[in-house]
């Protein structure tokens, strides 16, 4: 197996695993600020993996990678803020 394909497979497996954990947490009805913080961390990790490997930004100039990463962090922080203010 080519190294690039192997890396894509590993990244995909991590994405699936984190998605299944997120699903299980929702299905079991867990809640609270610590659970939401962990889920937002999971979303951030998944988003960064997609940015790096599936959008192909892992090896480009840092300026372009940072634009997308700042967008991801902004969205995650706004979701966290919305949850926190709704409590």
Report d(CA 42, CA 48) in Å as an integer: 10
C-beta neighbour count of 39 within 10 angstroms: 19
User: What's the confidence (pLDDT) of residue 14?
Assistant: 97
Tens digit of each residue's pLDDT (9 = 90 or more) over 13-26:
999 999 999 999 99
Q: Is the pLDDT of residue 1 over 70?
A: no
Contact call for residues 25 and 39 (beta carbons, < 8 A): yes
User: What's the confidence (pLDDT) of residue 87?
Assistant: 84
- Angle at alpha carbon of residue 81, lines to 79 and 85, rounded to 5°: 120
User: What's the confidence (pLDDT) of residue 4?
Assistant: 73
Mean pLDDT of 28-53: 95
C-beta neighbour count of 3 within 10 angstroms: 7
Kindly list the domain boundaries of the chain, sorted by start residue: 3-86
């Amino acid at each position: 197996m080519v190294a690039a394909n192997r890396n894509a497979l590993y990244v995909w497996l991590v994405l699936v695993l984190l998605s299944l954990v997120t699903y299980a947490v929702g299905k079991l009805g867990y809640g609270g600020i610590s659970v939401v913080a962990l889920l937002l961390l999971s979303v951030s990790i998944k988003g960064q993996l997609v940015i790096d490997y599936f959008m192909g930004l892992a090896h480009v100039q840092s300026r372009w990678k940072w634009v997308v990463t700042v967008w991801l962090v902004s969205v995650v922080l706004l979701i966290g803020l919305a949850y926190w203010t709704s409590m």
